[in-house]
Amino acid sequence: MHDRFHRASLITAIKTPYQRDGSIDFAAFDRLAERQAEAGVDGLVITGTTGEGHLMHWDEQLALIAHAARRFGGRMLIIGNTGSNSTAEAVRATGLGFQVGMDVALQINPYYGKTSAAGLEAHFERVLEFGPAIVYNVPGRTGQDLVPDVIDGIARHPNFVGVKECCGPARMEELKRRGIRSWSGNDDDCLAAAADGHALGVISVLSNVAPRMLRRLLDSKVREAPPEHRELTAWLFCQPNPIPVNTALAMMGLVQPAFRLPYVPLSREERERGLAILS
């Protein structure tokens, strides 16, 4: 049923660019997305963590999902982040996201106000009603791990596509053993997981900056990243994401140097180190 989605090995968690006044820069978004399409990227996550959906009103978030679907739907999968810590908000946003044309929803487990295992299953039962969904497990941000036993229950839903998994190679291997597909949520472990067949590929921050390099590495099925990949990846996470990738794209002239608080640019010293790597 979900073969189209499972063929996507490189998905970019795309940055949301801003105008100087803080509004979304749709023209810059189109340039970023076109660059991804030309590099052979299979899909885009719109307004995810890297795209700063958590800093947006729902009308902004849904407007960008609709824009991406209209401009790039059919060329790349459009994955809209419509998850929330409030089930009611996630239900409303997910229904609207599919109405405006997204292909897949990205659904996170309720963060901060953590719930029980039964509550997690009830939450995902509701938000998976509307269409295909990737479940996002990132306990470093949510404070709650979606362990394989919980995923087992969620995965029985016909709209479940797979997991964006941030708990590393051993977890993805365990999910594969259980017949559950996943994408790595970590640029530093994605190549080995994909080459070993434990992950379908990666939902990447790095590919905002170097999509062709990552496309080539995934296609060649190398397990070990070359030094330039490791060095760039380390720099892109020298501060919490998306601070470094926002800074990098501005340094590259691809977006305006406009940040929404609480994010601010990297320090001069960190930028100089990044410039040497990017060069």
- Which tokens belong to 236? 């892109």
**Residue in 111, 164, 221, 263 annotated catalytic:** 164
- Tokens for 211, please give them: 């999509």
Q: Which residue has 């990205």 as its token pair? A: 106
18 among known catalytic residues: no
Dist CA 113 CA 90 (whole Å):
14
Length in residues, the chain: 279
The active-site residue out of 136, 176, 221, 263 is 136
Residue ranges of E strands in the chain = 10-13, 43-46, 77-81, 104-108, 133-137, 160-165, 182-184, 202-204
Strand partners, 44: 12, 78
* Bridge partners of residue 133, in order along the sequence: 105, 160
Nearest alpha carbon to residue 52 among 214, 168, 208: 208
Is 136 one of the annotated active-site residues of the chain? yes
Cα distance between residue 229 and residue 237, in whole Å: 13
Assess contact for 78 and 68: CB atoms under 8 A: yes
Answer whether 133's CB lies under 8 Å from 127's CB. Answer: yes
Query: Helix 243-251 vs helix 268-278: angle between axes, to the nearest 10 degrees?
Result: 60
Alpha carbon 99 to its chain's center: 21
Q: List active site positions.
A: 136, 164
